[in-house]
């Protein structure tokens, strides 16, 4: 039986990409802000509805650079419920993550848990728009304004997401995108920083190119994080297909919700009415009234060559480089700890067929029936 993975990269027709490669071979402009790089920055900013966008070779380097650009120091309040790059970027900048528990509905950082964690060493808040569902940006900004803190959003999941018809990427001081192969929009590897003004964009552009301002002037201790021309060209081709891809994801999401609705113990997620979601993931909660555990369901799906993922298990706070922190103790993170034990992300990608999607649902339904039979026996 064919393997079915939790995601599959969006790949446009190869014949559309080849002319871009031929142009790169002809002009020999491979990197350092070439014509495709410049074009993609402009096209993406327009598509996403943001003022300024700085392309990066990957999203982690974008996050590392954002922290440098805002001169963040000391402690940063963040979520334990994310991919490890979120907090690793703090350690790489010599910063201390302080973990706040999450909201039980959205799985995003709970604003009500942020303020009690603020100390004289706190300089920023680093929330994540988990699964592309927006954080409570208004409440987070209110806290940041009251305490003089910066807000950097890890928006790796939130490409194209809008709230009240406005891009969620415009919230906070900076927002970080990932264009990794597994994301809704990809450039093989890649990422971006969304920033509000030209002055900050200039600083970020310096930082991602070793700090060079011109041929002989270095103005900051920068790194090399530039997106190359092949990545940028691929992104330009992708833009012609992204709307159809997002529509396909929405249709897949709706079918899952319909087909799973009558299975007790399988709880799906939905976006608020004022949010235009990108359906970057399809998470479900495996609750107590489902007859087998989340991990048992995960293994049963794997036995059918269906590779779901437990995003995000274990919590970041459980890893060895974080578990010594007072805020990382499980008793301080009861909601995140509980959800991490129940969450399962099912396959979703634009090319997922109805037949394969039915395969996933049938496998879940079989476990539901098997578990009920075992309990009766």
**Domain covering 4-239 in this structure, CATH number:** 3.40.640.10
Give me the helices (H) in the chain, please.
Answer: 14-27, 35-48, 59-69, 85-92, 137-147, 198-207, 229-239, 242-260, 294-303, 334-340, 354-376
The span from the CA of 343 to the CA of 4, in Å, is 19
Q: Which helix (H) or strand (E) holds 123?
A: strand 122-126
Tell me the two tokens of residue 41.
């920055």
> What are the mean pLDDT values of the chain's consecutive 10-residue runs (377 residues total)?
95 97 98 97 98 98 98 98 98 98 98 98 98 98 98 98 98 98 98 97 98 95 98 98 98 98 97 97 97 97 98 98 97 98 98 98 95 57
Contact 304, 359 (CB under 8 A): yes
pLDDT at 372: 60
The second-level CATH assignment, the architecture, of 242-376 is: Alpha-Beta Complex (3.90)
- Give me the residues paired with residue 54 across strands: 193
pLDDT at 373: 57
Report the side by side order of strands in the sheet with 275-276. 166-167, 162-163, 275-276
The span from the CA of 221 to the CA of 208, in Å, is 10
Domain ranges of the chain: 4-239, 242-376
Calculate the CA dihedral of residues 52, 56, 58, 63 and round it to 10 degrees.
Answer: -60
pTM for this predicted structure: 0.97
**351-360 contacts at long range (C-beta below 8 A, 24 or more positions apart):** 351/8, 351/248, 352/8, 352/248, 352/252, 354/255, 356/2, 356/4, 357/252, 357/255, 357/256, 357/259, 358/259, 359/4, 359/304, 359/306, 360/4, 360/301, 360/306
pLDDT at 368: 95
The span from the CA of 283 to the CA of 298, in Å, is 13
**Is the sign of the CA dihedral 1, 287, 309, 189 positive or negative?**
positive
Contact 257, 268 (CB under 8 A): yes
pLDDT at 375: 58
Give me the helices (H) in 94-196, please.
Answer: 137-147
The span from the CA of 152 to the CA of 171, in Å, is 9
**φ and ψ at residue 295, rounded to 5 degrees:** -65, -35
pLDDT at 370: 81
The two beta strands, 122-126 and 96-99, are: unpaired
Q: Annotate 132-169 with b (16+ C-beta within 10 A) or e (fewer).
A: bbbbbbeebbebbeeeebbbbbbbbbbbbbbbeeebbb
pLDDT at 1: 80
Contact 333, 368 (CB under 8 A): no
Which residues are CB-neighbours of 119 under 8 A, at least 6 positions away? 75
Contact 111, 136 (CB under 8 A): yes
User: Using the 8-state DSSP alphabet, how is residue 184 labeled?
Assistant: S
Closest CA to 54 of 177, 216, 235: 177
């Amino acid at each position: 039986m064919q393997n079915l993975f939790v995601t599959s990269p969006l790949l446009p027709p190869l014949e559309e990409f080849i002319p871009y490669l031929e142009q790169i071979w002809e002009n020999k402009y491979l990197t350092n802000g070439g014509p495709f790089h410049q074009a993609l920055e402009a096209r993406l900013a327009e598509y996403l509805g943001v003022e300024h966008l700085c392309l990066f070779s990957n999203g982690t380097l974008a996050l590392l650079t954002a922290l440098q650009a805002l001169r963040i120091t000391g402690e940063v309040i963040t979520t334990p419920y994310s991919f490890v790059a979120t907090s690793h970027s703090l350690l790489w900048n010599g910063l201390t993550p302080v973990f706040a528990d999450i909201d039980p509905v959205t799985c995003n950082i709970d604003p009500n848990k942020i303020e009690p964690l603020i100390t004289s060493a706190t300089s920023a808040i680093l929330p994540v728009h988990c699964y592309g569902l927006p954080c409570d940006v208004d409440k987070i900004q209110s806290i940041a304004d009251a305490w003089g803190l910066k807000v950097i959003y890890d928006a790796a999941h939130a490409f194209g997401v809008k709230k009240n018809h406005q891009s969620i990427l415009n919230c906070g001081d900076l927002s970080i995108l990932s264009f990794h192969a597994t994301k809704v929009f990809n450039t093989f590897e890649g990422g971006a920083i969304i920033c509000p003004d030209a002055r900050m964009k200039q600083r970020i552009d310096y930082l991602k190119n070793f700090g060079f301002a011109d041929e002989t002037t270095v103005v900051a201790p920068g790194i090399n994080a530039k997106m190359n021309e092949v990545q940028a060209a691929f992104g330009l081709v992708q833009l012609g297909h992204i709307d159809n891809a997002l529509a396909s994801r929405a249709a897949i999401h709706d079918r899952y919700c319909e087909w799973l609705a009558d299975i007790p113990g399988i709880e799906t997620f939905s976006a608020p009415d004022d949010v235009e979601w990108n359906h970057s993931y399809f998470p479900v909660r495996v609750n107590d009234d489902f007859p087998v555990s989340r991990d048992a369901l995960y293994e049963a799906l794997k036995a059918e060559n269906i590779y779901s993922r437990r995003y995000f298990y274990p919590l970041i706070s459980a890893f060895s480089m974080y578990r010594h922190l007072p805020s990382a103790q499980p008793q301080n993170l009861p909601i995140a700890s509980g959800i991490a034990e129940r969450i399962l992300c099912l396959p979703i990608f634009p090319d997922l067929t109805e037949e394969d999607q039915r395969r996933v649902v049938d496998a879940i339904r079989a476990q539901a029936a098997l578990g009920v039979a075992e309990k009766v026996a």
